[in-house]
Structure 1
């Protein structure tokens, strides 16, 4: 009888713990740095599988099952978009910011973020040189870009270093990994060319101060 009572108490405590876990309401806000009039976009929460069609730049809220780590993205045909949010969403840290910038022409194919892309961050000079020779060394840029402007092509041709675009999601982990990758390339270029190469850089990826 005592054993049964103990089991019931444990089950009750587990159920109470689950029931008491509060849902979190997060607020999504926009920052518009583009001149284009907003038409529509798609906001996604990866962990819940939810997708929201957004037709205005008014703030809106989303309900999350509990506090914790989440990944969000926003896609629009009209903008390059960036999404900023806390590494862990809670009642106090619950603001998701979508920053919209002008869509510029380029040749880049937008790709989804994969952490495996950052596996080789401790690159030696020899590894970097091999990657340059095989055209596999890239600065990492987060955003939605569709074409490569001519000045990007000139930089790639001269230095052998490309620009790889990733998903517009800029969560803390991917931001850190992209910054580490770019800083290592910057370090190599500074050692090889001094500071002159910076003048020819068409855009400044994460890692520049």
Structure 2
């Protein structure tokens, strides 16, 4: 009788343990015309790395539902990994968005404003004298900010752009605004931020 009870308990424990496992679906969203041939998929909490050799969707088994950190790296693409804050039976899709590398893609920021990240302060001041230095804002509606006084004092205006942006443009916009922040910090300290009519993306 005792052995029977122990057997039942063992089978119940095994069943519960197996039931805790979660299968997550990994889906590729390739926004380029290039095929994926090599990459690595990381699951931080498990210390697990998977070698990926194609853009085919695949699944991973997790010990239980909960919070996990996923990442994908490839020398061929810029990769952005999107997934739920908590992986559950109903929310278990991990999306890997593949974008062209910066060197292979037209830098979208170029059509918004001059590229400034590699410019020194003297070059920035040349653009400033031409009225070409602007903080970039992305908004669902057209902004109506009054940057007149700010531009007179600091030489920098603002440009309002569409809110529908991809991760690459988002990153470039933040880098652009931070370069202007660096320039103003070097010249005026942190006090200039108090005069901003609104805070651009990337500036704290």
When the two structures are superposed, what TM-score results if normalisation uses the length of structure 1?
Answer: 0.49
Which structure is larger by alpha-carbon Rg, 1 or 2?
2
Return the structure number with greater relative CO, CA threshold 8 A, min gap 6.
1
